[in-house]
Amino acid sequence: MKHALLEAEKAYEQEEVPVGAVVVQNGRIIGRGHNQMERLQDPTAHAEMIAITAAANHLESRRLDECTLYVTLEPCPMCAGAIVLARVPTLVFGSFDPKAGASGTLYNITHDKRLNHTVHVVSGVCDRESEELLKRFFGKVRTIPAKRRNA
């Protein structure tokens, strides 16, 4: 999770919502990502999506069935769906997301037995560090005038 937090710090430095993710297989990071939605102007450029794509490219396989995904914030519905489709067996996340969480908070996509795969979820790992980074980011963003933010 410490490596996911380092990815979240990269996002923070780039003025992106500070979420970071890493995919680990056999104790080795094979994919990493941080939010890049603003920089790429891509609504799918979430940390999890970037890390999953990097891991799939590394393995040359769409299935990440021997991997663990670590992410600093509970995945949204899009990312939770990608985690299921990639057959990730274990998801470890930091903070719960009360506005978009899809691994137990608002939705439970990762545990939905109607889907072709379910995910073992471990929550609350390094949650305080993740929450502090998010609070620092949104505190900073709220002090920037709206005109400058949207320019």
Residues with a catalytic annotation lie at 48
CB atoms within 10 A of CB 46: 25
Query: Can you tell me which residue has the tokens 């899009």?
Result: 78
> Of how many residues is the chain composed?
151
Q: Three-state SS across 87-100?
A: CCCEEEEEECCCCC
Which residues lie closer than 8 Å to 85 by C-beta, 6 or more apart?
62, 117
The three-point CA angle 134-106-71 to 5° equals 40
CA atoms within 13 A on the CB side of 42: 11
